[in-house]
Amino acid sequence: MSRTILEVTDLRKDYRQRRGLVSMLTGQGRVIPAVDGVSFYLRENETVGLVGESGCGKTTIGRTVLRLTDASSGRIVFDGRDITTLSRAELRPLRREMQMIFQDLDAGLNPEMRVRDILREALTVHERPSDAEIAGRVRELLEQVSLKDSKLANFPSELSGGEKRRVGIARVLAVRPRLIVADEPTSALDISIQAQVVNLLRDLQKNLGLTYLFISHDLPVVELVSQKVAVMYLGRIVEMGLAERIAHQPRHPYTGILWSSLADKQTTEVTRRVTNVAVERERRTWGVFDFEQPTSGCRFAPRCPLYKEKGRPAICTDPASEPQLRDVGHGHVVACHFA
């Protein structure tokens, strides 16, 4: 079995949100527990998918495990070394090994630089290669992401969305990372291009032995690329296991909902919009997406169909018994009293 490259234990990240003049002046503000006690691990050369609706804390996890932002508490071990509190200087040599593909297609693409210079810059961040070495590596990167030579002379504004994504991936590959956090790498792209990017990432993993934490709100995409999947709801993992089990035998009511809203392939733009309207309405009614008004007990209770079906059992909203992840066999864990 391949070795563990990343181990995250009881990770928490609170944001302090300052709203209004008083909180600005006093420096006080309400605390948003964006990541609220999350644990998982990644083995070398595998992909773990992190899925959940917008705002549940996926990006925050990605940024925190790469130390782009500091954790409030918890432990992050990369390649056997505790990196939770390493200083900037200590982190520097590790930066190249852990990279992030940002959701924003323009991230890292300086609009004033041509693709050639963007790649050259990425190649010289950590090393001082010769011009000939740079030229060789640029060619290799283009090949790896299937971009034509002619694109080297283009500015980012002259590229399509798919081409920008490829340049962004080439930039990340330039430093020869081992672990990549891919944050919604396909969400800003047309459906046909999404499939190409997914295939590209899969090929790169195979050829370069990469390890991915693959973040997406789109469960079918996550299932396609991941060996294991973690489902998040409001800052917590509510279900985690092998991708095929999460896909075909989900045990948490929330995962079931994520699937059923997509299962009918008429989930075309129209249905999607309708679903969003329903979710929006629910958000306003329940305030469930508002970290300001956490529910007691299971945080999913206000939206849970099983809770309603079972006649609103008291244990679901008991402040003393928030459901914890429990092994239901085959390494599949679920946080629901009735799973």
- 212 sits in which H/E element: strand 211-216
Query: What residues numbered 50-69 form the site for ligand SF4, per CB under 6 A?
Result: none
CB 10 within 8 A of CB 73: yes
Nearest distance, CB of residue 187 and Mg ion, angstroms: 9
Which entry of ligand SF4, ligand ADP, Mg ion, none binds 15, CB below 5 to 8 A by partner kind? Answer: ligand ADP
Interface segment toward ligand ADP; rule CB under 6 A; list 52-60, 72-80, 187-195, 263-271: 52-60
Report the residue from 316, 325, 332, 333 that binds ligand SF4 according to the rule CB under 6 A.
316
**Greatest pairwise CA separation for the chain in angstroms:** 71
Backbone angles phi, psi at 78, to 5 degrees: -110, 125
The CB-of-36 to ligand ADP minimum distance in angstroms stands at 10
Give residue for tokens 């699937």.
Answer: 259
Q: Which is nearer to ligand SF4, 62 or 297 (CB)?
A: 297
Q: How far is the CB of 228 from ligand ADP (least distance, A)?
A: 18
8 Å CB contact between 91 and 67 = yes
Work out whether 251 is an interface residue with ligand SF4 (CB under 6 A).
Answer: no
Q: What separation in angstroms does the CA of 276 have from each of 14, 84, 281?
A: 27, 37, 8
| 231 makes contact with ligand SF4 (CB under 6 A) | no
187-218 burial string, b = 16+ CB within 10 Å, else e?
ebbeeebbebbbebbeebbeeeebbbbbbbbb
Residue pair 73/84 in contact by the 8 Å Cβ criterion:
no
Query: Which of these ranges, 29-37, 114-122, 282-290, 331-339, lies near ligand SF4 under the rule CB under 6 A?
Result: 331-339
Task: Give the residue, chosen from 29, 37, 55, 108, that forms a contact with ligand ADP under the rule CB under 6 A.
Answer: 55
Tell me which of Mg ion, ligand SF4, ligand ADP, none is bound by residue 40, counting a contact when its beta carbon lies within the kind-specific cut-off of 5 to 8 angstroms.
none
Determine, following the binding rule CB under 6 A, whether residue 57 of this chain makes contact with ligand ADP: yes
Minimum CB separation of residue 326 from ligand SF4 in Å reads: 11
* Window of 20-28, 49-57, 295-303, 305-313 that interacts with ligand ADP by CB under 6 A: 49-57
59 lies in the site for Mg ion, by CB under 5 A: yes
Number of residues that bind Mg ion (CB under 5 A): 1
What residue type is assigned to position 84 of the chain?
A: T
Residue partners of 35: CB distance under 8 A and separation at least 6: 11, 12, 13, 57, 60, 61, 64, 235
How far is the C-alpha of 227 from the C-alpha of 224, rounded, in Å? 9
CA 121 to chain centre: 26
Q: How far is the CB of 297 from ligand ADP (least distance, A)?
A: 20
Nearest-CB residue for Mg ion: 59
Residues forming contacts to ligand SF4 in the complex (CB under 6 A) are 253, 298, 300-301, 304, 306-307, 316, 323, 336-338
Residues forming contacts to Mg ion in the complex (CB under 5 A) are 59
